[in-house]
Structure 1
Amino acid sequence: MLQAFDATTGAAMPHSGAALWLGLRTVRNLRKGLTWAWLDTVCQYRRSKIGPIWETINVLVMTLGIAVVSSAVIGGTVTNLIGYVGLGIIVWTAITSLISEGTTAFVRNRDAILSSNLSIDFYVARMSFRIFITFCHHLILYFIGVAIGLIGLHWAALLAIPGIVLLFVNGFWTITLLSLVCARYRDVELIIRNLLQLAFFVTPVFWDYRHIVSNRRFIVDYNILFYFLEIVRAPLLGEVPTAQTYIVVVSVTVVGYAMAYLVYRRMRRDLAFYV
């Protein structure tokens, strides 16, 4: 029988209506998380003339810089590389934000966790939606690229919608898992941040994985982050992601939520002591 628990105290809730209570609580916390994520974004850029567009400009500058360097090193024209590199950086920024910022979701909210009875999924939703809002701002560059003809518009772009959904659905379990582990073991956060720096170069963010030699193919085939990058970028470039990409992403989703659930069950009661 389904058993519900209070997220802060770990106390068992009555069996009667537990499923309904959990469902309503989750929806309520998602709505709260979205509201607070929007407020976080507004407050972060208060008194700024263009707000989060500054980050979008940063992505644009980085895209142009990498495209120019890549065209000189590996050949090709800058205009052909801008779409691939730009979308790669946009999606990669979202992926790394969900991972790196997710490691501190509970530590950052220490005072609220100790002084309120807000559920854990509120903090997860708040951070996930904030990253999603920033991601949407960055996508402005994609539509500008389409408008001026740098990126072709194809029906496959519609497949980016389920790709984005899968990306941020995985963000929920990633933030839950990493935030709990990093609240208990603070060194894990630093390890993850260092690994992400390496991952940027071994993941085809700005280089084309199709040019890699066959005996080095494992760099891509066993790189989980590549599949999450490709499930969003490929459709926006007019390509249909492979069946392998969807299989890997869905498999990671199932395994990830199972791992997050087990860690949550084990560590939720001591979260107040960890932070």
Structure 2
Amino acid sequence: MASTVVKPLSEPHPVASAIHRNLNMLSNALSWAWLDTVCQYRRSRIGPLWETLNVLVMLLGLSVVSSAIFGSSISDIIAYVGVGIIVWSAISALVIEGGGVFVRNAGYLSNSTLGLGLYVGRTVFKIMITFGHHAIIYLMGVVFALVPLVWTSLLAIPGIVLLFVNGFWVVMVLGFICARYRDVELIVRNLMQLAFFVTPVFWNYRQIASNRQFLVEYNVLFYFIEIIRDPLLGQVPPLGHYLTVLGFTVAGYALAFFVYRRMRGQLAFCV
């Protein structure tokens, strides 16, 4: 009788296995974030649109204040202020929510073997879902001809991608640091309130004196806002804005790698 040789199954390539594992983790994080959003607004009539309504009210109020201070008409600045507020709401949420990501999930961290990336992705994707609801305000601006709809608007897509790609390392780093040093979370919240006023969210940076331009040039949050706001307002962002954001992204993930290696083993004792 002829013998049958059974060939052993080849092991998957380590890179392919890592990619598959991370994609599966991101898929689970997105599902978890969607479930969080649904449960949070389960008995609400309009659900997460309440947050969008809050942003809309803030937009209208800041537009009136800005027009009174800088002498511009509301119709001229409402689009600028509106897109700025929408992007800022995502930036602020990533920073503030990131500080408590591991503390909020202390029960899971202590009693399960789920990867830390799942908790980080859960937070980032939930903020992304809320950001998607805020985009309704932009669509309203298009309908009422307050915002131009041109081909350059598509350049906002890589800007949005870069924003939330950076969100992963920001949430990771702040999650570790704020879990170890609880006062840092409160300090970060206060600093974000200050950053809102020194970042050109509702005021035009082109109107400040040349000797005050350093408030913009050395503010990395400005570049994240502009690579999204400029395209949506029909302008092409300068190449330097993208290079600054890309450099900050690389530096941020290097910092996240360092923090993860140093603080991963201590996390269970901090939460």
Q: Sort the TM-score into its range (normalised by shorter chain).
A: over 0.9
Which of 257, 260, 266 in structure 2 is aligned with 1:270?
266
Q: Measure how far apart 1:257 and its partner are.
A: 0.2
1:140-182 per-residue CA deviation (whole Å, 9 max, x = no partner) reads 1101110111111121110000000000000001011110111
Match of 2:203 in 1: 207
C-alpha distance in structure 1 between counterparts of 2:170 and 2:131, whole Å: 17
C-alpha distance in structure 1 between counterparts of 2:194 and 2:59, whole Å: 19
TM-score, normalisation: structure 2: 0.94
Match of 2:108 in 1: 112
C-alpha distance in structure 1 between counterparts of 2:193 and 2:43, whole Å: 32
Q: Measure how far apart 1:51 and its partner are.
A: 0.4
SS in 1 for 2:100: helix
Which of 187, 197, 210 in structure 2 is aligned with 1:191?
187
Q: Measure how far apart 1:71 and its partner are.
A: 1.0
| Structure 1 letter corresponding to 2:110 | L
More displaced stretch, 23-32 vs 155-164 = 23-32
Match of 1:172 in 2: 168
Match of 1:234 in 2: 230
Match of 1:143 in 2: 139
C-alpha distance in structure 1 between counterparts of 2:66 and 2:250, whole Å: 37
Q: Measure how far apart 1:274 and its partner are.
A: 1.2
TM-score, normalisation: structure 1: 0.92
Which of 30, 33, 42 in structure 2 is aligned with 1:34?
30
Establish whether residue 20 from structure 1 lines up as the match of residue 11 from structure 2.
no
Q: Percent identity?
A: 59
C-alpha distance in structure 2 between counterparts of 1:99 and 1:20, whole Å: 32
Establish whether residue 84 from structure 1 lines up as the match of residue 80 from structure 2.
yes
1:216-245 per-residue CA deviation (whole Å, 9 max, x = no partner) reads 000000001111111111111111111111
Match of 1:221 in 2: 217
SS in 1 for 2:118: helix
Q: Measure how far apart 1:130 and its partner are.
A: 0.1
C-alpha distance in structure 2 between counterparts of 1:193 and 1:107, whole Å: 16
Match of 1:60 in 2: 56
Q: Structure 2: give runs of 5+ residues left out of the alignment.
A: 1-11
Match of 1:10 in 2: none
| Structure 1 letter corresponding to 2:91 | I
| Structure 1 letter corresponding to 2:42 | R
| Structure 2 letter corresponding to 1:265 | R
C-alpha distance in structure 2 between counterparts of 1:18 and 1:273, whole Å: 31
Which of 153, 159, 162 in structure 2 is aligned with 1:163?
159
| Structure 1 letter corresponding to 2:28 | K
| Structure 2 letter corresponding to 1:72 | A
1:10-37 per-residue CA deviation (whole Å, 9 max, x = no partner) reads xxxxxx9543332222111100100010
Match of 2:3 in 1: none
CA RMSD of aligned residues (A): 1.3
| Structure 2 letter corresponding to 1:248 | T
C-alpha distance in structure 2 between counterparts of 1:219 and 1:72, whole Å: 22
C-alpha distance in structure 2 between counterparts of 1:79 and 1:149, whole Å: 10
SS in 2 for 1:48: coil
C-alpha distance in structure 1 between counterparts of 2:189 and 2:237, whole Å: 28
Structure 1 residues 194, 77: closer, same or farther in 2, change over 3 A?
Answer: same
